[in-house]
């Protein structure tokens, strides 16, 4: 098959959707398919991109769901998109966030291929779809197949765009995160390491983990918190650090992707205290692949991945006391830490990109057959 993978987000900036598309592209290519990626881009960041990448429109940063979405708002996209689709003659066009402005809408408007949309987002609010759904329904009807990465993502879109959705989860490079790599030597001593991986955004909940850690230190002084991810802590985080004179908090900052498995191997417990707006939780899969026990918040998206008491412990969101109790329980029970980590490592196999890509291709083929049958029935 000849497949187009379409992203509304600037492909030169890291993000969950762009990483998903990149991995899916590699797996589809390995399976013998021809793949092109269509996405906005930043010219000064274009070096080193995928060879099958077709840049379409410069991006602008737009606040979205507690984060920043870099999308293209270029009005001239329609003509160029139409020419590319005529030239490439794709069998399948797979649009990720197909109702996001502006590129996916241009592609849907011009496409004569089989159109499949994957819905990734869960914002916890339907305000965007509430005011935009009348305008977007004609584009939604041009989709021949609909995928959601989780039940949270499905519930987010289905209220305003009811239809049949197939859930195909995000994937993970299992071999990469399960690799037997050395831990960070200066962080492997007699202390229990709690690891956080994520951007320094309010919705990632770092302030609540710092609150929890400040409570833990009284009972478990032999603990350390390692914070990995881009950005800077907000004023609430700085206030907790200063007012409680917190020690043993290591802010690593952004790290090279190849270093991430080493930080997971350095950890004794992985903690993700997000407050909401998470459709899935890739970091949970990364921790599971590394066989690490998890403490996470009980929010939609995370609850689709982690079962309380099986791969980890779930605590109420936006509550330092509950996080501290869950972390303390694991600190005191090394046997339970090992059991939860082993369970996670066994369960994560279903999320390998080989498995996920196979499900995606099967869905492509089923949708194409359904469209072919429907076309033949038209007199």
Q: What is the CATH number of the domain that holds 83?
A: 3.40.50.2000
Q: Residue 128: pLDDT above 70?
A: no
Asked if residue 34 lies in contact with residue 94, where contact means CB atoms within 8 angstroms, the answer is no
Q: How far, in Å, CA of 196 to CA of 262, rounded? A: 13
Could you tell me if 181 and 113 lie in one domain? no
155 and 221 co-located in one domain: no
Domain that holds residue 165: 2-171+352-377
Contact by Cβ (8 Å): 197, 228: yes
Taking the model in full, what pTM does it have?
0.86
Same domain, yes or no: 206 and 111: no
Query: Quick one: 100 and 222 in the same domain?
Result: no
Q: What are φ and ψ of residue 54, in 5° steps?
A: -110, 105
Looking at residue 372, its pLDDT comes to 86
Distance CA 272, CA 353 (A): 23
Here the tokens at position 137 are: 């329904």
Instruction: Name which of 14-23, 101-110, 213-222 the model is least confident about.
Output: 14-23
Q: In total, how many domains does the chain have?
A: 2
Same domain (yes/no): 39, 179: no
* Cβ atoms within 10 Å of 156's Cβ, excluding its own: 26
Q: Which of 62-66, 74-78, 372-376 has the lowest mean pLDDT?
A: 62-66
What is the rounded CA–CA span in Å between residue 31 and residue 189? 44
Q: Are 150 and 205 in a shared domain?
A: no
DSSP class of residue 200 equals S
Residue of 248, 205, 190, 254 lying closest to 228 (CA atoms):
254
> Does the pLDDT of residue 99 top 80, yes or no?
yes
Separation of alpha carbons 15 and 12, rounded Å: 9
Mean pLDDT of the chain: 91
Quickly state the pLDDT bin for 351 (edges 50, 70, 90). Answer: very high
Tell me: do 116 and 206 sit in the same domain. no
Same domain, 335 and 364: no
DSSP element (H, E) containing 30: helix 16-30
Q: How far apart are the first and last CA of the chain?
A: 27
Is residue 162 domain-shared with residue 182, that is, in the same domain?
A: no
pLDDT beyond 50 at 124: no
* Residue 336, pLDDT above cutoff 90: yes
Measured CA to CA, the distance from residue 218 to residue 222 in angstroms comes to 10
Please check whether residues 165 and 215 belong to one and the same domain. Answer: no
- Look at 114-123, 188-197, 215-224, 356-365 and tell me which has the smallest mean pLDDT: 114-123
Cα(272)–Cα(282) distance, integer angstroms: 11
Q: Are residues 8 and 157 in the same domain?
A: yes
C-alpha span between 120 and 36 (Å, rounded)? 20
Whether 54 and 190 share a structural domain: no
């Amino acid at each position: 098959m000849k497949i187009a993978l379409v992203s509304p987000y600037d492909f030169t900036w890291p993000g969950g959707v762009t990483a998903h598309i990149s991995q899916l592209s590699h797996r589809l290519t390995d399976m013998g398919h021809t793949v092109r990626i269509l996405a906005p881009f930043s010219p000064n960041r274009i070096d080193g991109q995928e060879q099958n990448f077709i840049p379409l429109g410069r991006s602008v940063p737009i606040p979205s769901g507690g984060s920043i979405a870099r999308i293209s708002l270029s009005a001239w996209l329609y003509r160029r998109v139409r020419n590319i689709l005529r030239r490439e003659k794709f069998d399948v066009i797979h649009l990720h966030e197909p109702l996001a402005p502006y590129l996916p809408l241009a592609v849907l408007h011009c496409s004569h291929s089989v159109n499949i949309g994957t819905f990734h987002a869960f914002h916890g609010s339907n305000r965007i779809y509430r005011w935009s759904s009348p305008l977007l329904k004609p584009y939604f009807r041009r989709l021949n197949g609909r995928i959601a990465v989780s039940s949270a993502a499905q519930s987010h879109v289905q209220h305003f765009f009811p239809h049949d959705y197939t859930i195909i989860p995000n994937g993970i490079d299992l071999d990469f995160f399960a690799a037997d790599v050395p831990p960070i030597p200066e962080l492997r001593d007699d202390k229990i390491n709690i690891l956080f991986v994520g951007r320094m955004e309010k919705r990632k909940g770092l302030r609540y983990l710092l609150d929890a850690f400040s409570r833990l230190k009284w009972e478990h002084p032999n603990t350390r918190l390692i914070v990995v991810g881009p950005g800077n802590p907000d004023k609430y985080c700085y206030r907790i650090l200063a007012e409680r004179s917190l020690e043993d908090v290591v802010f690593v900052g952004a790290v090279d992707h190849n270093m991430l498995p080493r930080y997971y191997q350095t950890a004794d417990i992985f903690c993700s205290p997000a407050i909401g707006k998470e459709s899935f939780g890739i970091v949970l899969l990364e921790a599971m692949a590394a066989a690490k026990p998890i403490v996470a918040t009980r929010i939609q998206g995370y609850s689709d991945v982690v079962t309380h008491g099986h791969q980890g412990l779930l605590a109420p969101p936006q509550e330092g006391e509950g996080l501290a109790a869950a972390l303390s329980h694991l600190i005191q029970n090394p046997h339970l830490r090992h059991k939860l980590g082993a369970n996670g490592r066994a369960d994560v196999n279903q999320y390998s990109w080989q498995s996920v890509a196979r499900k995606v291709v099967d869905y492509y083929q089923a949708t194409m057959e359904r469209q072919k049958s429907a076309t033949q029935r038209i007199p």
